[in-house]
C-alpha cells in the first residue's frame, strides 16, 4: 500500500470514528462532517490520479469498501439531520472499477 494512500485511509477512518462519536451532538457532527468532506475533496483527487500508474491493491480496495460501508451507515444515521456523501461514494466506486 502506498504511503500516501495508507495515510489517507487512516485519516478518513479516524474522521469517520470521530463523527460516529458525536452523532447526538448536531453542531459537533456537522463540524466533523465538514472537516471530513474538506479532507476528502483536498486529498482524494491526488489518490484518484495515482490509480493510472499504481492501481489499488486488494488491501486498499477492501479498506475503501469498508470506509464506504461505514460512510453509508453514518449517512443513514444522520439522514434526517444532514445530507451527506452520496457523490463521494459514487466517486470512490468509479475508483474501485479502475
Q: Write the DSSP symbol of residue 86.
A: H
What is the reported pTM? 0.72
Strand ranges in 11-93 using DSSP code E only, listed in sequence order = none
Comparing 2 with 41, the larger pLDDT belongs to: 41
Tens of pLDDT, residue by residue over 67-97, are 999 988 888 887 755 555 556 667 777 777 7
| Residue in 79, 53, 63, 83 with CA at minimum distance from that of residue 92 | 63
| Calpha distance 98→94 (Å, rounded) | 7
Contact 22, 28 (CB under 8 A): yes
* 25 phi and psi angles, rounded to 5 deg: -125, 85
Question: Which residue matches cell numbers 474522521?
Answer: 15
Domain ranges of the chain: 3-96
Contacts of 25 (CB under 8 A, 6+ apart): none
Residues of the chain above pLDDT 70, percent: 88
CA-to-CA distance for 56 and 34, rounded, in angstroms? 26
Amino acid at each position: 500500500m502506498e504511503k500516501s494512500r495508507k495515510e489517507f485511509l487512516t485519516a478518513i477512518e479516524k474522521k469517520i470514528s470521530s463523527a460516529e462519536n458525536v452523532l447526538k451532538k448536531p453542531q459537533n457532527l456537522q463540524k466533523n462532517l465538514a472537516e471530513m468532506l474538506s479532507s476528502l475533496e483536498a486529498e482524494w483527487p491526488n489518490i484518484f490520479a495515482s490509480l493510472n500508474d499504481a492501481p489499488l491493491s486488494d488491501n486498499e480496495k477492501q479498506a475503501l469498501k469498508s470506509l464506504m460501508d461505514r460512510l453509508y451507515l453514518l449517512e443513514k444515521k444522520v439522514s434526517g439531520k444532514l445530507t451527506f456523501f452520496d457523490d463521494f461514494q459514487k466517486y470512490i466506486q468509479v475508483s474501485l472499477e479502475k
